[in-house]
Homo-oligomer: A and B are copies of this chain.
Amino acid sequence: MQLGGIDRADDRPPYRQIADQLRAAIDRGDLVAGDKLPSEAVLIEHYGVARMTVRQAVQELRNEGRVVAEHGKGTFVRQPVQVRRLASERFARRHREAGLAAFSVEAQKAGFTPNVDQLEIATGPASPEIRDRLRLADDEEVVSRSRRYLADGQPVETAVSYLPASVAAGSRIVEADSGPGGIYARLEDMGFELDHFTEEVSARMPTAEERRRLQLTDGVPVVVLVRTAYDTTGRPLEVCDTLKAAPAYVLEYEVPAR
């Protein structure tokens, strides 16, 4: 495993540099689920810092839920969150009523002044994770489209969508700046037959960057919504990851006929 050193010129404190390097090692795949982190003694030796500094770095990763320490044994990379995936009794399968209303409509209903900013669109090679989720060939590129939703100027949600370049190509999807409803309408206009969606709801601690974008303070988790849209052949057309500030949303629904 590759770990760098402490850069005294860096404005980040040493404990954060160490945490970032360990986190990067996990993200790179140098350390995978179940692997043991270097022990405190090894990290002290490697970085030339005191024990508390190393412990503070590891504590960061523990707070983020990425590693778990076991007394007398070591500190281990945790299984990714998808370990238990269980359909809930209350959300198993449902219809949409009237298509996908835009964020702005719902926000106005709730009495907020809605806004969207930080619209970014990029085309490039897919990360292994996205390639897997979209079932892409190794060399196929993806178009990513990220945006941030605000209510009364306060950021409440960020979302990023990925589409295979072959699906997005030639469309006006890159110009879309209204919620996901816009994308799906355009896909259908282009002849793609949307069949069903899957959504996975979970929660986790945000990264520093995510905390910044949603203007969250420390210690607050985010609700994560992972949506995939499939066509009638079962091919994924789009994946969309949404992060919501902790009080995420309110549902209201009728009692079903018996």
Q: How far is the CB of A81 from chain B (nearest CB, A)?
A: 5
A250:B85 contact, CB within 8 angstroms: yes
* Per-residue contact bits, chain A 70-97, to B (CB 8 Å; 1 contact, 0 not): 0000000010011111111111111111
Q: Name A91's closest neighbour in chain B (CB-CB).
A: B251
Q: Is the CB of A202 within 8 A of B110?
A: no
* Residue pair A86, B197 in contact (C-beta under 8 Å): no
Indicate if A63 sits at the interface (CB-CB under 8 A).
yes
| Cβ-based interface call for A177 (8 A) | no
Choose among B65, B151, B181 the residue that contacts A220 (Cβ–Cβ < 8 A).
Answer: B65
Report if A107-B94 is in contact (Cβ < 8 Å); known contacts: A195-B255, A203-B248, A221-B203: no
Question: In the bound complex, how far is the Cα of B217 from the Cα of A66, in angstroms?
Answer: 11
Judged by a CB distance under 8 angstroms, whether A62 is at the interface is yes
Task: Report the stretch among A20-28, A41-49, A98-106, A129-137 that lies at the interface.
Answer: A98-106
Question: Which residues of B sit under 8 angstroms from A102, Cβ to Cβ?
Answer: 89
How many whole Å from A188's CB to the nearest CB in chain B?
7
Q: By CB atoms of chain B within 10 A, which of A90, A92, A101 has the most? A: A90
Is A200 in contact with chain B by the CB < 8 A criterion? yes
Task: List residues of chain B with CB within 8 A of the CB of A98.
Answer: 256
A83 and B253 contacting across the interface, CB-CB below 8 Å = no
**Contact B197–A253 (Cβ < 8 Å):** yes
Q: Are A249 and B218 in contact (CB under 8 A)?
A: no
Q: Is the Cβ of B84 less than 8 Å from the Cβ of A258?
A: no
B99 touches A258 (CB 8 A): yes
A186 contacts the other chain (CB 8 A): no
Given A62-B218, A219-B63, A199 contacting B255 (CB threshold 8 A): no
Over the window 207-233 of chain A, the binary record of Cβ atoms lying under 8 Å from chain B Cβ atoms (1 yes, 0 no) is: 000000000011111110100000000
Q: Decide yes or no whether A244 CB sits under 8 A from chain B.
A: yes
